[in-house]
Structures are given as structure tokens and as C-alpha cells.
Amino acid sequence: MNGLSGSGDDGTVAAVLRLADLAGKIEQVEGAASRRFDELARDCAAAHDQVSGLTTVLGGLTGRVDEIDGQLAEVTGLLDRMSGQISTLTESDRGADDQRGYQVNPPPPWWKPDDQRCQDTADRLADWVQDVYRPVYGYLADLLAPCWQEHPLCLAYLDVLHEAWCLLYLQQRDPKMVVAQLDWLNRSLLQAAEVMANETKRCRDLTRHCDPGTDATPFPVSPRLSPRR
């Protein structure tokens, strides 16, 4: 009896010890899990705080972006208005320049003397020769025979002389324009006058028009101008 009883007690003690050991292990696991849960809770709280901070920063950045977009829209509108104003001023200046500036006439076809454009240009040149060229340019103008309209070479030279004169004298003058006028007087005008004088020399000498290559017989001398014998 005593042996059986002792054997049962030993089994009970062993079972109790095993249970105690398991309880200790369970307590250790629960402690580690509790500590881990606490760490995870702290990490989650920190992450939550970081997310909240980022959300706040993002909200501020979003507001800043909206503000910048508004400012860019204002600047874009201002640039558009300035561009329109500059275009308007440019067109106005161009229109004013077009109104003030002399418009060069197209060249007439002097090789087609029957063309109406040649006659129109010759009429315009006749007015300029009468109103400007002869009154202003003295002995140079005297070298031009009255029959200059019958000389295509004279028409061609007077055409460009007239256009150059209009460009130089019918617009506002600045220092560069003065230099250009002086050059026109000292070179272009003198050379053109010499060419036209050579072209019409025979006509002046004969006191009548004489086409190049034709008979150069002089006019009959008036009895009053005949030399006395």
C-alpha cells in the first residue's frame, strides 16, 4: 500500500512541477509578447505622429502650390496684356513710319516709251525739274538741255535722282541723313549732271533737239547774228 501510494505521489509531484515549468514559460512568453506589443504600440504612435506631421506639411505645400499657381496666372495675364500693348505700339509706330516715310515709286519701263507709266513718270519729273532741280542746283541744272524728256538716258538718271532726293529731303533729318545728303550732292548729283550734260551737249550747241546718231547740222543762223563782212 505504501509503495503504491508513494508512486502516485511522485507522479503528482512531477505533474505539478511540469505544470509549474509550463506556467513559467507561458509567463515569459506573455511578458515578451507584452513588451513587443508595447514596442509596436510606440512605433505605431510614432508613425502616426510622423504621418500627421507629413499630412500637415503636405497641406501647407498644397496651399503654397495653389498660391504659386495663382501668382503664375496673374503674371501670365500681365505678360499677355504687355505683349498686346507692345504689339499695338509696334503697329502704331510702323503705321506712323509708313505715313511719315516717303514711298518710293516703282521703276517705269524706259525701254517701252509708249508705256503709260513712262509718261506718268516723265510728267512727275518735269514738275520736279521745274520746281526743284533748276531753281536749286544752278549751273548743274543749266547743263540740262530743254529737250531732256526726249532723252531716255536723262529720264533714267532724273528718275533715280528724284527718288533719292525725296528719300533724303522729305523725311526727318538726323546726323546720318546729313552725311548721306552731302554724299549725294558731291558724288551722285555731280556724276548724273555730267552724264546728262554729255548726253544733251549737241542739243545745247545746236539749240534744238538732236537724237544721238542723227544729223548734227546746226540751225540756220539768224541774219541779225550773222558775222559782219
Q: Is the dihedral of CA 52, 54, 57, 59 positive or negative?
A: negative
pLDDT at 130: 95
Region 160-189 average pLDDT: 93
Quick: pLDDT tens for 207-224. Answer: 888 776 565 554 444 344
Q: Indicate the angle between helix axes 152-169 and 175-183, nearest 10 degrees.
A: 160
Q: What count of residues does the chain have?
A: 229
Res. 117 pLDDT band, cuts 50 70 90:
very high
CB neighbours of 142 closer than 8 A, spacing ≥ 6?
Answer: 134
Q: Judge if pTM exceeds 0.75.
A: no
Cell of residue 194, nine digits:
555730267
pLDDT at 228: 42
- List the domain boundaries for the chain: 1-100, 116-214
pLDDT at 94: 55
Cβ atoms of residues 118 and 105 within 8 Å: no
Res. 116 pLDDT band, cuts 50 70 90:
very high
How far apart, in whole angstroms, are the C-alpha atoms of residue 147 and residue 58? 93
Q: CA torsion, points 158, 159, 162, 164, in degrees to nearest 10?
A: -110
Quick: pLDDT tens for 19-72. Answer: 778 777 787 877 777 787 778 778 878 877 877 777 777 777 777 778 787 877
Average pLDDT, the chain: 80
Quick: pLDDT tens for 57-115. Answer: 777 777 777 878 787 787 787 777 767 767 666 665 555 555 567 889 999 999 998 99
Cβ atoms of residues 196 and 144 within 8 Å: yes
